C-alpha cells in the first residue's frame, strides 16, 4: 500500500500551528496586515521540508488567483524549437526571464484551424486562459485576435508590432532605424543609386524597413528613383530584374530578408559580377546559417533574446497589477560586413 501524501493539516499538526497559518505561509500572504513571526514561518517551512509536503498547484491557484504560468503562443506554422529558427532566441529569452520571475511556461502547440492557420480562439474559446497571461509572436500575428484579447482584458504582450489601433503592449525591433543606418553606410561609401528588394507580403516589419529606407534617402538629400524599389519572392526573382536595376543606375542593393539576398547573390554571380567590387549588397536583418553566402554580409542584428526577456518583464509587471500599456522598441546592432565598397568605375 502506497504511503499517503502529506497534506496541509499534517504540516499544521507537525509545526504546532493552525491550517490557516500554513495556508498563509504557503501562498505568501504575509504582510503588515497579517502578522506571523519569522520563527513561526520558518517552523512551518521546516515541517514542509521534513514531511516532504508538495502543494497542490490547482488548489494553490484557486487560493491565489494565479497559476504562476505564462503562455507562449506563436502564429508560425511550426513551433520554433530548433536552434536555427529565427524565433528560437525569443524562446531562450522568454524562458530565462520567466524562470527569474518564478513562472512556468505553457507552450500552446495544438492551435491550428482546419485551414492550417494557428488561432488563439480554438473552437471559439480563448485557449490562453489556461495561463495567467501570454506572450504572442510570429510574422503574421492576427490583428483581430489581438483586438479581441485587448477587449477581453486578457494580459498579453506581442513580440513585434501588429496592424491595429487597439491598445496593446508590445516589444519590437527598430527596423526603420537599423535600415537608415545601413543606407547611411552605403551613402558614406559613395552610393547614390541604391535599389530596394522587398517581399510582396507587406508585413509590418517589412514596411518599417521600407520606411527607414525612404527616410534615409530624404535625410541624405537623395532623390529616390521608384524604379529601384522592387517587390518579389526569391523564387520569382529573375536575372532580367537585376539587369534592369543595374541599367537604371543601381550600384548597391538592399534586401528585406535572407532568402531574397541569397537569390540575389546567386544571380549576381551567374553574371560574372563580384561582390563588392562590381556591386554592393546589404541585408536588412538576420541570417542563421553562417556558412552560407551571407556570412560576411553587411547587415544588422535584431535583439531577439532581449525582446523575449522584455516581453516577459512587461507581462510579469502586468500580472502584478501594472495596468499601463507598454510599447517598447529596441535598437538593432549594425554589422559592417564585407559586402559594401565604393561604386565600381564604369568600364570603357
pLDDT tens per residue across span 187-237: 999 999 999 999 888 888 899 999 999 999 999 999 999 999 999 888 888
Q: What percent of the chain has pLDDT over 90?
A: 34
- Residue 188: the pLDDT is 94
Cα separation, 296 vs 139, in Å, equals 25
C-alpha cell at 190: 559613395
* pLDDT tens by residue, 296-326: 899 999 999 999 999 999 999 999 888 888 9
Is the pLDDT assigned to residue 183 strictly greater than 90?
yes
Sketch out the chain's domains with CATH numbers. 8-64 (1.10.260.40), 69-173+304-331 (3.40.50.2300), 175-302 (3.40.50.2300)
- Which of residues 298 and 7 earns the better pLDDT score? 298
Answer yes or no: are the C-beta atoms of 103 and 72 closer than 8 Å. no
* pLDDT tens by residue, 32-43: 556 778 888 888
Is the pLDDT assigned to residue 100 strictly greater than 70?
yes
Q: Angle between the 175-188 and 204-220 helix axes, to the nearest 10 degrees?
A: 40
252 φ/ψ angles, rounded to the nearest 5 degrees: -140, 150
* pLDDT tens by residue, 242-251: 899 999 999 9
User: Which residues contact residue 287 at a Cβ distance below 8 angstroms, ignoring those fewer than 6 apart?
Assistant: 258, 261, 294, 295, 297, 299
Residue owning grid cell 526577456:
309
Answer yes or no: are the C-beta atoms of 136 and 157 closer than 8 Å. yes
347 by DSSP, 3-state: which?
coil
Which pLDDT band, with edges at 50, 70 and 90, does 282 fall under?
very high
Cα separation, 138 vs 116, in Å, equals 15
Q: What is the mean pLDDT of the chain?
A: 83
DSSP-derived secondary structure letter, 223: P
Rg for the chain, CA atoms, rounded: 27
Q: Angle between the 8-15 and 38-51 helix axes, to the nearest 10 degrees?
A: 120
Is the pLDDT assigned to residue 288 strictly greater than 80?
no
- Residue 52: the pLDDT is 76
How far out from the chain centre does Cα 224 lie? 31
- Which of residues 289 and 334 earns the better pLDDT score? 334
Cα separation, 159 vs 201, in Å, equals 19
C-alpha cell at 33: 496586515
* pLDDT tens by residue, 109-160: 765 554 567 788 776 778 888 889 999 988 778 888 889 989 888 899 999 9
- Which of residues 170 and 114 earns the better pLDDT score? 170
Cα separation, 195 vs 279, in Å, equals 11
C-alpha cell at 100: 527569474
Dihedral over alpha carbons 9, 15, 21, 22 (to 10 degrees): -50
Which pLDDT band, with edges at 50, 70 and 90, does 50 fall under?
confident
- Residue 306: the pLDDT is 94
Q: Per-residue pLDDT averaged across 320-345, rounded? A: 89
- From the list 181, 150, 221, 219, the residue with the least C-alpha distance to 336 is 181
Q: Per-residue pLDDT averaged across 236-264, rounded? A: 89
Cα separation, 7 vs 15, in Å, equals 13
Is the pLDDT assigned to residue 58 strictly greater than 80?
no
Continuous H helices in the chain: 8-15, 19-26, 38-51, 57-64, 88-100, 143-152, 175-188, 204-220, 239-247, 258-270, 304-319
Cα separation, 215 vs 174, in Å, equals 13
- Which of residues 31 and 69 earns the better pLDDT score? 69
Element spanning 69, H or E: strand 69-74
Which pLDDT band, with edges at 50, 70 and 90, does 30 fall under?
low
Amino acid at each position: 500500500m502506497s504511503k499517503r501524501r502529506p497534506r496541509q493539516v499534517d504540516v499544521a499538526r507537525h509545526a504546532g500551528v493552525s491550517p490557516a497559518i500554513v495556508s498563509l505561509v504557503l501562498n505568501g500572504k504575509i504582510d503588515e496586515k497579517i502578522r506571523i513571526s519569522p520563527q513561526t514561518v520558518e517552523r512551518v517551512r521546516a515541517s514542509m521540508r521534513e514531511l516532504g509536503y508538495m502543494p497542490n498547484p490547482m488548489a494553490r491557484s484557486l487560493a491565489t488567483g494565479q497559476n504562476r504560468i505564462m503562455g507562449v503562443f506563436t502564429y508560425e506554422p511550426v513551433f520554433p524549437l530548433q536552434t536555427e529558427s529565427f524565433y528560437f532566441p525569443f524562446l531562450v529569452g522568454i524562458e530565462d526571464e520567466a524562470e527569474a520571475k518564478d513562472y512556468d511556461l505553457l507552450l500552446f502547440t495544438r492551435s491550428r484551424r482546419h485551414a492550417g492557420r494557428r488561432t488563439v480562439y480554438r473552437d471559439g474559446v480563448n485557449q490562453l486562459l489556461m495561463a495567467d497571461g501570454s506572450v504572442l509572436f510570429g510574422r503574421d500575428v492576427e490583428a483581430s485576435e489581438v483586438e479581441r484579447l485587448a477587449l477581453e482584458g486578457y494580459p498579453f504582450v506581442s513580440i513585434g508590432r501588429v496592424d491595429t489601433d487597439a491598445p496593446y503592449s508590445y516589444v519590437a525591433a527598430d527596423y526603420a532605424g537599423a535600415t537608415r543606418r545601413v543606407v547611411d553606410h552605403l551613402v558614406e561609401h559613395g552610393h547614390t543609386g541604391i535599389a530596394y528588394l522587398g517581399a510582396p507580403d507587406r508585413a509590418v516589419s517589412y514596411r518599417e524597413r521600407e520606411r527607414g529606407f525612404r527616410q534615409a534617402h530624404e535625410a541624405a538629400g537623395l532623390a529616390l528613383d521608384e524604379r529601384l524599389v522592387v517587390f518579389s519572392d526569391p523564387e520569382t526573382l529573375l536575372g532580367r530584374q537585376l539587369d534592369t536595376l543595374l541599367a537604371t543606375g543601381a550600384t548597391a542593393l538592399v534586401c528585406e530578408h535572407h532568402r531574397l539576398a541569397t537569390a540575389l547573390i546567386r544571380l549576381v554571380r551567374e553574371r560574372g559580377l563580384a561582390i563588392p567590387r562590381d556591386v554592393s549588397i546589404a541585408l536588412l536583418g538576420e541570417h542563421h546559417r553562417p556558412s552560407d553566402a551571407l556570412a560576411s554580409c553587411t547587415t544588422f542584428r535584431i535583439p531577439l533574446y532581449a525582446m523575449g526577456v522584455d516581453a516577459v518583464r512587461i507581462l510579469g509587471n502586468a500580472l502584478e497589477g501594472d495596468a499601463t500599456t507598454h510599447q517598447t522598441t529596441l535598437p538593432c546592432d549594425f554589422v559592417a560586413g564585407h559586402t559594401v565598397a565604393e561604386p565600381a568605375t564604369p568600364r570603357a
